[in-house]
């Protein structure tokens, strides 16, 4: 199999120097050339070289300034930079090394020395890249393991509450769709990142995990709850939060579990502060909980329960609209309305076996 040729970017305003370096390196590497710092920055972003040979003394933008801008723009990403210069004093060398250069070659240079130093730095880079790949792979494995464990934990509620199983899957889908729609809103662009949406969707099945602490006589009661029973049922957000909060301590404040804890605690809070358990309001309620609040109520409305028949989709949507600005975050409701037309078709795939067909 043909060996992949590594790319070296040579930056020098003197064509003679470039020709010499091309002659030294072109046999073993793909050599790209820039005659000034501006071009070097453009090429680094475009071709992502494996190593940069950077002349210090250049007009308009010297090598030091070029490297400084590269670092500010974040385009190096582990690319080693070797300075080439006629300056041999220690202060110049220290300046270059302080800026992050990995080596300093003085002119006139020995071809064999240049090749050896480049070879050493590229070997170090390849080793670092391999280690990063191993770390990324291990991190991905741990993340997958955590996701499976969280999903399994969320499924515990299904064994206690016959209404919960499909409810978990459906609300998870709604949460992800609403979050993706909210991401388009400039107000949430910094908060609702792709990573946040992935964590939110993974955490969503845990929003009712506190129900495992509720007695079967209340949880499985085939009818409306009494006042006292309702007070006990209203403890499940705090129960779920306490369990998940303890887990975050063991997992060093893992972001995914923290989102799950916030969602469990806050999905029955109201935008106007009249919800439970802590009467939080507006932006004091975590955004994940505000999204789940809408998903949770919509699913409850369109689902069959022992004490009620399912609402048609259009009626449930009207109920969500009625809660805009009182029970629900207005922005979340607007995002929900944008994705609501897709829900009847999605629900056909996740109907409760015991539910009657819900027509829009």
The rounded distance, in Å, linking the Cα atoms of 200 and 205 is 9
CA dihedral sign of residues 186, 187, 189, 194: negative
CA distance linking residue 13 with residue 40, whole number of Å: 11
CATH code for the structural domain at 7-132: 3.40.50.2300
CA distance linking residue 83 with residue 103, whole number of Å: 6
The fold of the 161-349 domain, in CATH, is: Hypothetical protein af1432 (1.10.3210)
Task: Give the separation between CA 122 and CA 16, rounded to whole angstroms.
Answer: 25
Helix (H, G, I), strand (E, B) or coil at 46: helix
Instruction: Tell me the mean pLDDT in the region 183-196.
Output: 91
**pTM for this prediction:** 0.60
**Are 235 and 214 within 8 A, CB to CB?**
yes
What is the mean pLDDT of the segment spanning 121-143?
75
Q: Which residues contact 192 (CB under 8 A, 6 or more apart)?
A: 179, 182, 183, 287
Where are the chain's structural domains? 7-132, 161-349
Most confident of 47-61, 79-93, 153-167, 247-261: 47-61
Average pLDDT, the chain: 83
d(CA 287, CA 259): 9
Give 38-89 pLDDT, tens digit per residue. 999 999 999 999 999 998 888 889 888 999 999 899 898 889 999 888 766 6
Give the whole-angstrom CA distance, residue 344 versus residue 349: 9
- Between the alpha carbon of residue 255 and those of residues 139, 179, 203, 249, 259, the distances in Å are 14, 16, 10, 11, 6
Please report which confidence band the pLDDT of residue 358 belongs to, taking 50, 70 and 90 as the band edges. very low
- What token pair was written down for 178? 């609403």
The span from the CA of 239 to the CA of 219, in Å, is 14
Per-residue pLDDT, averaged over 210-220, amounts to 80
Residue matched to tokens 């043909």: 2
For residue 209, give the nearest of 150, 126, 276 by alpha carbon: 150
Mean pLDDT score, 4-9: 88
Which helix (DSSP H) or strand (DSSP E) does residue 82 occupy?
strand 81-85
For residue 328, give both structure tokens: 């629900």
- Only one residue has tokens 């009207």, namely 318
The whole-angstrom separation of Cα 206 and Cα 247 is: 13
- The residue whose two tokens read 């792979």 is 137
- pLDDT-derived band at 357 (thresholds 50, 70, 90) equals very low
CA 157 to chain centre: 27
Q: Is 353 helix (H, G, I), strand (E, B) or coil?
A: coil
Element housing 261 (H / E): helix 255-266
**Alpha-carbon distance 357 to 360, whole Å?**
10
Closest to 53 (Cα-Cα) out of 105, 10, 17? 10
More confident residue, 83 or 352: 83
């Amino acid at each position: 199999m043909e060996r992949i040729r590594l790319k070296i970017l040579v930056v020098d305003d003197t064509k003679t120097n470039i020709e010499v370096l091309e002659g030294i390196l072109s046999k073993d590497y793909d050599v790209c050339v820039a005659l000034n710092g501006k071009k070097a920055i453009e090429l680094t972003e475009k071709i992502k070289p494996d190593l940069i040979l950077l002349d210090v003394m250049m007009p308009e933008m010297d090598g030091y300034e070029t490297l400084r801008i590269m670092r500010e723009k974040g385009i190096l990403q582990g690319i080693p930079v070797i300075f080439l210069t006629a300056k041999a004093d220690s202060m110049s060398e220290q300046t270059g090394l302080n800026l992050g250069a990995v080596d300093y070659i003085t002119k006139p240079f020995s071809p064999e020395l240049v090749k050896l130093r480049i070879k050493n730095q590229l070997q170090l880079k390849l080793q670092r890249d391999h280690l990063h790949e191993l770390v990324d792979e291990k991190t991905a494995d741990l993340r997958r393991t955590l996701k499976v464990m969280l999903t399994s934990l969320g499924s515990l509620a299904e064994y206690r509450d016959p209404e919960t199983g499909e409810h978990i899957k459906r609300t998870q889908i709604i949460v992800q769709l609403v979050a993706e729609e909210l991401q388009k809103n400039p107000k949430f662009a910094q908060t609702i990142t792709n990573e946040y949406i992935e964590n939110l969707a993974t955490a969503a099945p845990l929003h009712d995990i506190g129900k495992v602490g509720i007695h079967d006589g209340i949880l499985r009661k085939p009818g409306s709850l009494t006042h006292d029973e309702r007070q006990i049922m209203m403890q499940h957000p705090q129960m779920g939060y306490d369990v998940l909060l303890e887990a975050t301590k063991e997992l060093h404040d893992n972001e995914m579990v923290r989102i799950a804890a916030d969602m469990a605690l806050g999905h029955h809070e109201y935008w106007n502060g009249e919800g439970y358990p802590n009467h939080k309001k507006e932006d004091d309620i975590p955004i994940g909980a505000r999204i789940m609040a809408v998903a949770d109520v919509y699913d409850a409305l369109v689902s069959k329960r022992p004490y009620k028949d399912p609402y048609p989709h259009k009626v449930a949507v009207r109920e969500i609209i009625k809660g805009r600005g009182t029970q629900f975050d207005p922005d979340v409701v607007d995002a929900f309305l944008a994705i609501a037309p897709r829900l009847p078709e999605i629900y056909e795939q996740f109907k409760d076996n015991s539910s009657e067909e819900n027509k829009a």
